[in-house]
Structure 1
Amino acid sequence: MHSPLTRRGFLAAGSGLAAATVLPGLSGCSALTGADSDPDTLVVHSQLGTTAPGSPTYLAALDRFRKENPGLKVKNLINGDDLAQVYETSRLARKEPDVVMVNLYDKTLAWTDVGATVDVKGYLDDWGLRTRVLPQALAEWTDAKGRVRAFPYFATNWPIAFNRALLDRAGVDAIPATGDELIAAARKLRAKGIAPVTVGGNDWTGQKLLAQIIQTFLTEDEAKHAYTTGDFGSRGAREGIEYFVTLRDAGVFADKAQGLIADTMFTQFNTGAAAIESAMSSALAKVPPAVARHTEVGGWPLAEGAVHDKPTILRTYTLIGFWISPNGTKKIEAVEKFLRFMYRPDTVARFIKESGRDMALRSDVVSTDFPLVAAAQQLGSKVGQALLPDVYVPPAAAQPLITATSTSFTRGTGAAKVRAVLEAAYRSA
């Protein structure tokens, strides 16, 4: 399945439809002038370069690369959450950058299939870089046709962070491992004026946590089916939704969670206003030292009868990859130099040590200056793992699922309604 953008955008462009007709009102269209036909200028489009985690390390890496390759210029284009839309606009005009650094999610799932970016499998092998990639990362970046969409780079662990000091203040003696224990802890925390689990119920953070909780009674294959097809009618899916509703209506989540976003969630946890959050490693890296020293990481508490035998976390190796565009194939020697440099063990190590990033590449380096990131890296078999559904959700359903998530986090919404809005999100796909 492909989004309407895929069908009416990239494919229609070949028959002469104007990009403005297909993609009206997109922000950041100045990137159309960003592509450079100069063979000695490599154009990289990235979310790194401002406040995104890892930006200082990335900019320093670009400086080192320029010094090592004095005859090759690098132009760095920067966008935030609108990067995919901006890139698609530039591709429709055939003025796209050479390399794109973005995650595998939503719109980007369709890029290789429609020729917006190229299969990098041959380059990965020809340049001898396959052995640098973790096997699971390679599997996640490989599509159903055996094409490797991009060169894997950033990964993430996504555990649950527990502020031990706040739990102690509320009289919670141990990290909750079951749903009943979590409900009991939430009651004690609320009695002390502390929000229990903070979550961005109106954005991607809530969508991921909802998916994790629903999977309490789903095997990995069953979860893949549910998130690929939008069929949440199986017994396991219905039980998972009911478990979520039970937790929600018992007051486990912060007040008005359906209207909160990621920034609100991070602020509540980092200021000690909330005791628990589901935090990917980039968020863990930003927890202030005063809070981090009292924080433990673990998994989401399970219900009786769960298919998992240990509290779960999420992991993914698709956070950022290096995609090569059709324009990039015209400067493939420059692209090769850049990717070889970014894959070098010393470059990878700096992202781990300086920025607290998890990587999709092999490395023995640990994020020692980011204790919560390091702790998450070392959870190993202490936790179970739920499926991150990003690569299975059809692109057209991704944003509707956010709307469905907000409805789901609204207290009083019954399990049948939650299932209905989740399935409705797929009807536009």
Structure 2
Amino acid sequence: MHSPLTRRGILAAGSGLAAATVLPALSGCSLVAAADSDPDTLVVHSQLGTTAPGSPTYLASLDRFRKENPGLKVKNLINGDDLAQVYETSRLARKEPDVVMVNLYDKTLAWTDVGATVDVKGYLDGWGLRERVRPEALSAWTDAKGRLRAFPYFATNWPIAYNRALLDRAGVDAIPTTGDELIAASRKLRAKGIAPVTVGGNDWTGQKLLAQIIQTFLTEDEARHAYSTGDFGSRGARGGIDYFVTLRDAGVFADKAQGLTSDLMTTQFNTQSAAIESAMSSALAKVPEEVARHTEVGGWPLADGAAHDKPTILRTYTLIGFWISPNGVKKIDAVEKFLRFMYHPDTVSRFIKESGRDMALRSDTVSTDFPLVAAAQRLGAGVSQVLLPDVYVPPVAAQPLITATSTSFTRGTSATKVRAALETAYRSA
């Protein structure tokens, strides 16, 4: 897509960051009105500011930035999963905010290509900030044309959390590392009235776990091909789908997983109604202390003949970045001050210490108050990393894949139908 930004073009770029949500109080129209053209006002659009992990630290950082820059006002606009849609509405009216804090996924994949945001590589280098960023993060945020879409900021580890106390209660002696062990553990847990693996089968958390399990028999290149093209017909992809169906129909996942959301998943694990969850860093940081004390993190169990030699996890450096809009270019001096402040080691350390966030930036700070986040960081060679498909899935297929995920988690859906649902998500979009 190389044409100028148009309503038809950018609204076709995808259907949302995750499952459809009701617009919050800040609608697209109010955002257009709120985008301040005052050269002394920096307008930042973010998902941080309410209950999102890291919000208190972010708001405190904004207050500190304002005090250090008394001549520069900062207006903070907040949206949730609909941020991309709201931003696009404002951009169509040329009233977009100056800086956008959002992840690289779905609609945002097309922003730099259609001129909704700008290539920031020159700014990163010109401001001397390249060495602050992990090389893996720079690679992940760089598109096929060598453009850096945004300044990387938040990252995440995405291991599997195991409630050791619940496993012990059910008579499970060790963390399962194979599919057979996981099935056996699930049966014992169910016998004690404990849900085995809780998962948001009706939203992005289920999509990610499904992708992780499918990759059991795929190399990274094979996984990249499958999620870029929607071709799940290879031997490895079919083997991964078969493995998923075997686990599902053996009762590994919580009852009615196809209707669960990420919030319900988190609640089930944190209240000890379920023993196992696929938990990114922000979810690990929310595990109550009394549960975290007897929780271990590891990888997803493997099947015989897997392409990996260790249980798998997901990891990404594209959770949140700072995107610069065309309006932001007009206030680039203010944007530079803001980004230098957010990249400062002290600011980065606060997010790690206070919010348990993993960062795409270099830092020696450890999440001492968030032991599960720190434990996930230490997994290292004990696990194998599989591909997070977000940057490879065409934006138009992102939301249909959520629907396909719910279908896949429905007990009794055959492997053939799971594959058909996944491939149809690409064709129907």
* TM-score, normalisation: structure 2: 0.95
Alpha-carbon distance in 1 for matches of 2:393, 2:158: 19
Contact 1:11 1:114 (C-alpha < 8 Å) held by counterparts: no
1:417 match: 417
- 8 Å contact from structure 1 (residues 367, 373) kept in 2: yes
Give the number of aligned pairs: 415
Structure 2 residue 41 is matched with structure 1 residue 41: yes
Q: Deviations over 1:313-357 (max 9, x none)?
A: 000000000000000000000000000000000000000000000
Q: Which residue of 2 aligns with 1:377?
A: 377
Tell me, what secondary structure is at the counterpart of 2:275? strand
User: Take 1:250 and 1:52, find their aligned partners in 2: how far apart are those partners?
Assistant: 35
In the alignment, what sits opposite 2:328? 328
Q: Distance in 2 between matches of 1:194 and 1:283?
A: 20
Q: Which residue of the partner structure matches residue 16 of structure 1?
A: none
Which residue matches 1:187? 187
Q: Shift of the alpha carbon at 1:37?
A: 1.0
The aligned residue for residue 95 of structure 1 is: 95
**Alpha-carbon distance, 1:260 to partner:** 0.4
Inter-partner Cα distance in structure 1 for 2:230 and 2:32: 36
- Aligned twin of 2:52: 52
Which residue identity is paired with 2:253? F
* Contact 2:42-2:334 at 8 Å conserved across structures: yes
* Partner in structure 2 of residue 174 of structure 1: 174
What is the alpha-carbon root mean square deviation over aligned residues? 1.4
Q: Is the 8 A contact 1:9 1:92 kept in 2?
A: no
Distance 1:304 1:89 in 2: 49
Q: CA deviation at 1:289?
A: 0.5
* Contact 1:157-1:314 within 8 A present in 2 as well: yes
Query: Are the aligned partners of 2:65 and 2:338 in contact in 1 as well (CA < 8 Å)?
Result: yes
- What is the percentage of aligned positions where both structures have the same residue? 88
Structure 2, gaps ≥5 residues long? 13-21
Whether 1:350 aligns to 2:346 is no
**Structure 2 vs 1, CA of residues 202 and 94 (structure 1 numbering), >3 Å: closer, same or farther?**
same
Map 1:296-311 onto structure 2 (within 5 A). 296-311=296-311
In structure 2, the partner of 1:233 is: 233
Q: Which residue of 2 aligns with 1:69?
A: 69
Which residue of structure 2 aligns with residue 200 of structure 1? 200
Q: Is the 8 A contact 2:248 2:409 kept in 1?
A: yes
Does the aligned pair in 2 maintain the 1:26–1:86 contact within 8 Å? no
CA contact (8 A) 2:6 2:92 kept: no
Report what 1:224 is aligned to. 224
Q: Which amino acid aligns with 1:353?
A: K
TM-score of the pair, normalised by structure 1: 0.95
Q: Contact conserved, 1:6 with 1:110, CA < 8 A, in 2?
A: no
Say which SS state the counterpart of residue 428 (structure 2) adopts.
coil
Letter in 1 for 2:349: A
The runs of 4+ residues in structure 1 deviating greater than 4 Å are none
1:251-302 per-position Cα deviation (integer Å, ceiling 9, x unaligned):
0000000000001100000000000000000000000011000100000000
Conserved? CA contact 1:218–1:236, under 8 Å: yes
In structure 1, how many angstroms separate the alpha carbons of the residues matched to 2:401 and 2:37?
A: 39
1:242 aligns with 2:242: yes
Name 1:337's counterpart in structure 2. 337
Any conservation in 2 of the 1:258–1:406 contact (CA below 8 Å)? yes
2:19 corresponds to which residue? none
CA displacement at 1:6 relative to structure 2: 7.1
SS at match of 1:321: strand
Amino acid at match of 1:61: S
For the residue of structure 2 that corresponds to 1:426, the secondary structure is helix
Deviation at 1:9, TM superposition (A): 3.7
| Matched residue type, 1:354 | E
Question: In the alignment, what sits opposite 1:252?
Answer: 252
